[in-house]
Chains A and B, each alone.
Chain A
Amino acid sequence: MLALALAFAPGLGRAQDAGVPDAGVPDAGPPPDAGPSDHAASDDAGAPDPHADPPPPPRLLPPRVITSPPPHYPDDRLGDGAHPTVVLLVTLDEHGHVMSATVEHGAEPEFDAAAVEAVTRSWTFAPAERGGQPIAARVRVAVHFELPSFDAATTEAIEGSHPESHPEMNPARPHVHTNDPPPAEEAAADGADHEASGEPALGVTAEVEGAGQREEERGAGAFEVDRDILEAAPRQDGADLLLSVPGVFAARAEGLAVGQRINLRGFDAEHGQDIELTVGGLPVNLPSHIHGQGYADLGFLIPEVVRRVQVTEGVADPRQGDFAVAGSVRFELGVEERRRGWRVESGYGLFHAFRQLVMFAPEGEREETFGAVQYQRTDGYGQNRGGDAVSAIVQVGARDGSWRWRGLGILHGARADLAGVVRADDVQAGRVGFYDSYPVTSAQSQNALSGRFLGGFFGDWRGDDGANASLGLWVGADAFRVQENFTGFIQRSRTLAGVAGRGDLIEQQNQTLSAGLLGRYRSAPWRPFDEVAARVELGLDGRFDHVGQTQNLLGAPRNQTWDRRVDASILGTQVGLWGEVELTITDYLRVHGGLRAALLLYEIDDRLGNFVPLVRPMDEFIMGFRRSAGGATVGPRASAELRPLDWLSIRAGYGHGYRSPQARTLADSEAAPFTEVRGADLGATATYGRYLRVSVAGYWTELSDDVAFEPREGRLERIGASRRLGAVLYAQARPLDWLVGALSVTYVDAELLEPPPPTADDPQPAFTEGQNLPYVPPVVIRADVGVNGPLIADVLGETLTGRIGIGYSFLSPRPLPFGGFADAVNLLDASAGVGWGPLDLGVSFFNLFDQRWAASEFLFTSSWDPTGIPDRVPARHLSAGSPFRFMVTLGVSP
Chain B
Amino acid sequence: MTRPLQIVLRVVASLALLLGGCIDTSVEATTVALSARGDADADAPFDGRNGATITLQRADLAFGPLYLCAGVQAGEHCDEALAQWTDAAVIDALSPEPQALGPMEAITGTARSYMYDLGITSLLTRDEPLVSEAAGSLGDASVVIEGTAELDGQALPFTVRVRVEQDAEVEQGVPVIRSAEADGFEGALLPDDASSLEVAFDPRPWLATADFASLFEDRPCAPGVPIACAGSLEQTCDADGALVTSRECADLGQACLRGVGCAASLEVGPDSQIARALRAGVEAGARPLFTLRPETAP
Contact = CB atoms under 8 A, between A and B. Distances in A.
A861 B130 contact: no
A872 B84 contact: yes
A438 interface: no
A812 B17 contact: yes
28 contacts: A489-B124, A491-B124, A501-B124, A501-B172, A747-B19, A751-B24, A760-B77, A761-B77, A763-B71, A763-B72, A763-B112, A771-B24, A771-B25, A778-B19, A779-B15, A779-B20, A810-B9, A813-B13, A813-B16, A818-B27, A819-B28, A820-B25, A824-B16, A826-B12, A861-B79, A866-B126, A869-B65, A870-B124
Interface in A848-889: 849, 851, 860-861, 866-875
B5 interface: yes
A818 B121 CA distance: 27
Interface in B216-262: none
A866 B125 contact: yes
Contacts of A860: 80
A873 B107 contact: yes
Interface in B18-37: 19-20, 22-29
Given A764-B82, A824-B13, 12 more contacts: A489-B125, A500-B125, A763-B77, A764-B109, A768-B27, A810-B9, A826-B9, A861-B80, A866-B125, A872-B78, A873-B83, A873-B106
Contact of A500 (B12, B13, B82, B172): B172
Contacts of A579: none
Given A763-B112, A869-B65, A816 B25 contact: yes
B73 interface: yes
Given A763-B70, A866-B126, A781 B12 contact: yes
Contacts of A849: 1, 5
Contacts of A817: 27
Contacts of B123: 501, 866-867, 870
Interface string B41-79: 000000000000000000000000101011111000111
A772 B24 contact: yes
B84 A873 contact: yes
Interface of B: 1, 5, 9, 12-13, 15-17, 19-20, 22-29, 65, 67, 69-73, 77-84, 86-87, 105-110, 112, 121, 123-126, 130, 169, 172-173
A273 B147 CA distance: 67
Contacts of A608: none
Interface string A772-785: 10100011010000
A679 to B, nearest CB: 21
A764 B70 contact: yes
Given A872-B67, A872-B81, A779 B19 contact: yes
A787 interface: no
Interface residues of A, number: 52
A490 B79 contact: yes
A768 B26 contact: yes
A500 B1 contact: no
Contacts of A758: 70
Contacts of A873: 80-84, 105-107
A771 B72 CA distance: 24
A774 B123 CA distance: 31
A815 interface: yes
Contacts of A869: 65, 86-87, 121, 130
Nearest to A812: B16
B184 to A, nearest CB: 16
A774 B5 CA distance: 29
A152 to B, nearest CB: 37
Secondary structure call for the A interface: loop
A749 interface: yes
A868 B133 CA distance: 12
7 shortest A-B CB distances, which residue pairs? A501-B124, A812-B16, A764-B70, A763-B71, A778-B20, A501-B125, A872-B81
Given A818-B107, A874-B107, A770 B69 contact: no
A868 B20 CA distance: 39
Contact of B26 (A819, A851, A874): A819
Contacts of B24: 751, 770-772
Contacts of B121: 869
A771 B26 contact: yes
A151 B27 CA distance: 49
B35 to A, nearest CB: 19
Contacts of A19: none
A492 interface: yes
A489 B1 CA distance: 39
Contacts of B1: 849, 851
Given A490-B79, A820-B28, A820-B29, A871 B86 contact: yes
Contacts of B130: 867-869
A818 B27 CA distance: 5
A502 B123 CA distance: 11
A56 interface: no
A528 interface: no
B125 A867 contact: yes
Contacts of A861: 79-81
A606 B80 CA distance: 29
Nearest to B9: A826
Contacts of B105: 873, 875
A557 interface: no
Contact of A813 (B20, B27, B69): B20
Contact of A490 (B65, B77, B106, B124): B124
B256 to A, nearest CB: 45
Contacts of A764: 70-71, 80, 82, 109-110
A753 to B, nearest CB: 13
A819 B65 contact: no
A772 B23 CA distance: 6
Contacts of A48: none
A643 B260 CA distance: 107
Contact of A872 (B26, B79, B87, B109): B79
Contact of A498 (B72, B82, B169): B169
Nearest to B12: A810
B117 to A, nearest CB: 9
Interface in A749-765: 749, 751, 758, 760-764
A873 B68 CA distance: 9
A787 B77 CA distance: 59
Contact of B29 (A491, A819, A851): A819
Contact of A501 (B106, B112, B173): B173
Contacts of A763: 69-72, 77, 112
Contacts of A747: 19
Nearest to B23: A772
Contacts of A778: 16, 19-20, 23
A498 to B, nearest CB: 7
Nearest to A749: B22
B106 A815 contact: no
Given A501-B124, A872-B79, A874-B107, A492 B70 contact: no
B17 A813 contact: yes
Nearest to A848: B1
Contacts of A762: 80
Contacts of A761: 77
Contacts of B69: 763
A870 B173 contact: yes
A492 B124 contact: yes
Nearest to B170: A498
Contacts of B82: 764, 873
Contacts of B108: 819
Name, among B27, B70, B79, the residue most crowded by chain A CB atoms within 10 Å (CB to CB). B27
Contacts of A819: 25-29, 107-108
B224 to A, nearest CB: 46
Contacts of A751: 24
Contact of A812 (B13, B73, B81): B13
Given A489-B125, A818-B107, A849-B1, A812 B19 contact: yes
Nearest to B21: A778
A854 B288 CA distance: 43
